[in-house]
């Protein structure tokens, strides 16, 4: 009798331990939570706040460039804006947003009850706000915020830096620790917690892209840590890693930084491939075309990303053989990327497409990301890059990849899963307004930059010659329009959380077997092929 009572009590205790998240309320719940959905939500909200913060900095930049001459800010503050804007958008907006999506959806897609390391998951989120608090606090220092560009090239970040370098280094270290812990969690969850019968080649492509991205993070984040540590010791401890006077080499900084930096840009785009590979089949009512080729293409891109770093350095005076090697390897990346674009188009081909907002963002992603890919192919050519290097052409290229690429895919994923997350359908009219306003303004913002760059306008300079005035005016108008468009999304999400029309079990009419409604293990493909009509 007694043993039965003890067993019942211990069972109850275990049950209580497993569900302690739901007993805590208010701030305590969010501070101590180990629930993957709560942590995913916190990542997503944090990334959106950082997105708006970095966006305000971009608007300061665009306000200054609205017309020639210095009107609003001093050149040094202008450079602080460009630096912190880049750091916040890369480490504070895009990467945490993808980590948030991974936290929310990965356990459900592989049939796991939660992430494998829940407490580590909590920690990896909660150190992020402190990292960005440290970075943003530099604006209140007498010397000002970092002003050496988000790539912090030596000697700008060492010999000529202002007093904020130590804060910058500390903040980057914490961001890197957070990324590594999040990546380890993703790898362990996917490898050890898949549902029975779910082999690697049966995993949804969303899972595959995050799996590969996590390996990239684990490989390159320590390289960034080493780089910023060398910058720190060069600045404050008398070492000469990047100082030629002491036997160092400033070009070595670029090699080490871009060995991190190039895989990093793929860390910011591979998860986007996974999201659109989920949404396009759903709204085409077809299974994804060429699943295995998509997996191999993703792995190929990840591998090639490690051997193309010096294409950022064609103008540093490397030997001709080096230039040829990096040029050809860079062009080679176009092949697996082309496979992906072809497969997305083939998935949509003869599909019963419905143009819901997630599908609109996904189609815009495919088209506009491809434009970014083509301009990247132009920059891959060494003699051409000599002309385009450090002009607005480069700015246009990477913003097409990261805004109309990574950011649009995040919006596609958010709209696709919002009914799942909140239990309510979002306001369809507002979502369409958000899409069309974003689409028009983002192209007005970034497309003219190609022409500015081809005409020779240098980046990161607060003033410019009169011949660039007209294009810059339109670019700035596009920038403010794009920024204001994102407030529509904020209103829409808040309205959706508060309530509205209840979401059905399968909210997308006719899209059978969405990943988060199928029982584990998931089928080989997500959607049934429509029957042939004779």
Residue 266 among the catalytic residues? yes
Catalytic residue among 82, 165, 179, 305: 179
Catalytic residue among 33, 337, 370, 438: 337
Q: Whole-angstrom Cα distance, residue 71 to residue 65?
A: 9
Residue 15 among the catalytic residues? no
Catalytic residue among 38, 114, 234, 515: 114
Residue 22 among the catalytic residues? no
Catalytic residue among 64, 234, 264, 323: 264
Examine residue 297 and say whether the peptide bond preceding it is cis (omega within 30 degrees of 0). no
Residue 264 among the catalytic residues? yes
In the block, residue with structure tokens 């090699």: 255
Q: Whole-angstrom Cα distance, residue 288 to residue 291?
A: 6
> Under a CB-based contact definition with an 8 Å cutoff, are residues 364 and 439 in contact?
yes
> Under a CB-based contact definition with an 8 Å cutoff, are residues 21 and 33 in contact?
yes
Residue 179 among the catalytic residues? yes
| Helix spans in 111-204 (H) | 118-137, 165-192
Paired with 370 in beta bridges are none
Main-chain dihedrals φ then ψ at residue 391, nearest 5 degrees? -110, 180
Q: Whole-angstrom Cα distance, residue 49 to residue 129?
A: 11
Catalytic residue among 30, 47, 83, 85: 85
In the block, residue with structure tokens 């994804």: 288
Main-chain dihedrals φ then ψ at residue 361, nearest 5 degrees? -65, -35
Residue 262 among the catalytic residues? yes
Catalytic residue among 20, 255, 432, 459: 459
Catalytic residue among 36, 62, 173, 262: 262
Residue 143 among the catalytic residues? no
Residue 517 among the catalytic residues? no
Catalytic residue among 235, 277, 305, 409: 277
| Secondary structure (3-state) at 365 | helix
Residue 64 among the catalytic residues? no
Residue 532 among the catalytic residues? no
CA–CA distances in Å: residue 347 to residues 288, 304, 384: 6, 26, 35
Exposed e or buried b per residue across 400-435, where buried means at least 16 C-beta atoms within 10 angstroms of its C-beta = bbbbbbbbbbbbbbbbbbbbbbbebbbbeebbebbb
Exposed e or buried b per residue across 503-531, where buried means at least 16 C-beta atoms within 10 angstroms of its C-beta = beeebbeebebbbbeeeebbeeebbeeee
Residue 312 among the catalytic residues? yes
Q: Whole-angstrom Cα distance, residue 296 to residue 283?
A: 24
Catalytic residue among 43, 266, 388, 392: 266
Residue 124 tokens, joined? 């990896």
Paired with 502 in beta bridges are 424
Catalytic residue among 36, 62, 173, 312: 312
> Under a CB-based contact definition with an 8 Å cutoff, are residues 450 and 393 in contact?
yes
Residue 399 among the catalytic residues? no
- What residues are labeled active site? 85, 114, 150, 178-179, 262, 264, 266, 277, 311-312, 337, 340, 459
């Amino acid at each position: 009798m007694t043993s039965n009572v003890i067993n019942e009590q211990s069972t109850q205790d275990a049950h209580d331990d497993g569900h302690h998240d739901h007993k805590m309320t208010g701030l305590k719940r969010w501070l101590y939570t180990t629930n993957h959905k709560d942590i995913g939500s916190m990542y997503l909200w944090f990334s959106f706040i950082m997105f708006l913060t970095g966006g305000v900095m971009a608007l300061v930049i665009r306000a200054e460039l609205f017309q020639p001459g210095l009107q609003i800010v001093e050149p040094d503050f202008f450079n602080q804006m460009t630096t912190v804007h880049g750091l916040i958008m890369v480490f504070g907006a895009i990467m945490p947003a993808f980590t948030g999506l991974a936290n929310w959806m990965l356990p459900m897609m592989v049939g796991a009850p939660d992430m494998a390391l829940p407490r580590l998951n909590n920690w990896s989120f909660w150190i992020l706000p402190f990292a960005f608090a440290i970075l943003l606090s530099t604006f209140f220092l007498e010397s000002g915020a970092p002003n050496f560009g988000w790539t912090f090239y030596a000697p700008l970040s060492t010999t000529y830096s202002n007093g904020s370098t130590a804060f910058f280094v500390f903040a980057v270290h914490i961001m890197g620790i957070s990324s590594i812990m999040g990546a380890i969690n993703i790898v362990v969850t996917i490898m050890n917690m898949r549902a029975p019968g779910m082999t690697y080649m049966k995993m949804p492509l969303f899972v595959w892209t995050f799996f590969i991205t996590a390996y990239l993070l684990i490989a390159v984040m320590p390289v960034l840590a080493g780089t910023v540590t060398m910058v720190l010791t060069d600045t404050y401890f008398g070492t000469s890693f990047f100082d030629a006077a002491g036997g160092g080499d400033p070009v070595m900084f670029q090699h080490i930084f871009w060995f991190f930096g190039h895989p990093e840009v793929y860390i910011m785009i591979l998860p986007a491939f996974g999201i659109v590979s989920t949404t396009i089949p759903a709204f085409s009512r077809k299974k994804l075309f060429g699943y295995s080729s998509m997996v191999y293409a993703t792995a190929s891109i990840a591998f090639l990303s490690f051997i193309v770093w010096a294409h950022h350095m064609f103008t540093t005076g490397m030997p001709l053989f080096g230039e040829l090697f990096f040029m050809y390897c860079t062009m080679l990346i176009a092949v697996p990327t082309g496979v992906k674009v072809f497969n997305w188009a083939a998935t949509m081909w003869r599909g019963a497409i419905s143009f819901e907002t997630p599908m609109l963002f996904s189609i815009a992603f495919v088209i506009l990301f491809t434009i970014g890919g083509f301009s990247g192919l132009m920059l891959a050519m060494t003699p051409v890059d000599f002309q385009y290097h450090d002009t607005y052409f480069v700015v246009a290229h990477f913003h097409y990849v990261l805004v109309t690429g990574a950011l649009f895919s995040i919006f596609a994923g958010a709209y696709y899963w919002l009914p799942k997350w909140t239990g309510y359908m979002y306001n369809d009219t507002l979502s369409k307004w958000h899409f069309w306003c974003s689409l028009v303004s983002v192209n007005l913002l970034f497309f003219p930059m190609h022409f500015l760059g081809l005409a020779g306008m240098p980046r990161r300079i607060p003033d410019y010659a009169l011949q660039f005035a007209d294009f810059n005016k339109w670019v700035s108008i596009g920038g403010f329009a794009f920024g204001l468009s994102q407030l529509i999304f904020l209103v829409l999400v808040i309205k959706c959380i508060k309530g509205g029309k209840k979401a059905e079990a399968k909210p997308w009419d006719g899209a059978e077997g969405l990943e988060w409604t199928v029982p584990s293990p998931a089928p080989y493909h997500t959607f049934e092929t429509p029957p042939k009509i004779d």
